[in-house]
A and B are shown apart, each in its own frame.
Chain A
Amino acid sequence: DVKVTQSSRYLVKRTGEKVFLECVQDMDHENMFWYRQDPGLGLRLIYFSYDVKMKEKGDIPEGYSVSREKKERFSLILESASTNQTSMYLCASSPYPRQTQGRTYEQYFGPGTRLTVT
């Protein structure tokens, strides 16, 4: 079974703090993603990575950065947390785009981290 784990289920931080959200996958997947999920807005892509040391901006990268030093680990960093970054953060991974039992590009999600910035 694919397993994607995230370092915390719930996190409370103060405005201005630097926040690290960690994600680890154990399936040797090349691709990893960070999303945030807000009511009525669905999942929005923050950053993604298709290989170690590689990162690409998603749709809402402002206020965030990422790090991928090892294949299995993808970290999301909030340099200076703000209240509008209060959200559910979801990490996902997937293998390289190829036909895999008809489930090309399927992403496997971690349990999520509910971050509150006060």
Chain B
Amino acid sequence: GQNIDQPTEMTATEGAIVQINCTYQTSGFNGLFWYQQHAGEAPTFLSYNVLDGLEEKGRFSSFLSRSKGYSYLLLKELQMKDSASYLCAPLGSKGGYNKLIFGAGTRLAVHP
């Protein structure tokens, strides 16, 4: 089966660091995406990992362990504008096609 598990909500303080974890089970695996979605807006691409290890991009980093079915998104120097939902989305396969499988998302609230 296919299953994505990430925390429903998290809170953090401005300037701090927060780590959002994601565990997944998919049929086939071709990498994992993280998307950011502000309330009432479309998801926007944050990161893509296909190999094990850490990918750093400015204040955001994403880690992948394929053997453990585990990823995390690390946000540093948090800003108020980082308050949003963060969607973990592994790229699995089903019926001969590759498809993104989205988790329910983690709603992050950043407080002053």
- Chain A residues in the interface with B (C-beta under 8 A): 4, 35, 40-45, 48, 50, 56, 58, 90, 97, 102-112
Contacts and interface: CB of A to CB of B under 8 A. Distances in A.
B99 A111 contact: no
Contacts of A111: 41-42
B104 A105 contact: no
Given A41-B104, A50-B97, A105 B4 contact: no
Given A41-B104, A111-B41, A104 B31 contact: yes
- Secondary structure of the A contact surface, majority rule: loop
Contact of A106 (B4, B40, B42, B48): B48
Interface string B76-93: 000000000001000100
Interface residues on B, range: 20 to 34
A42 B103 contact: yes
27 contacts: A35-B102, A40-B104, A41-B104, A42-B4, A42-B102, A43-B43, A44-B102, A45-B99, A45-B100, A56-B95, A56-B97, A97-B98, A102-B48, A103-B48, A104-B50, A105-B31, A105-B33, A105-B48, A105-B98, A105-B100, A106-B33, A107-B45, A107-B100, A109-B43, A109-B44, A110-B42, A112-B40
A104 B45 contact: no
Interface of B: 4, 8, 30-31, 33, 40-45, 48, 50, 87, 91, 95, 97-100, 102-105
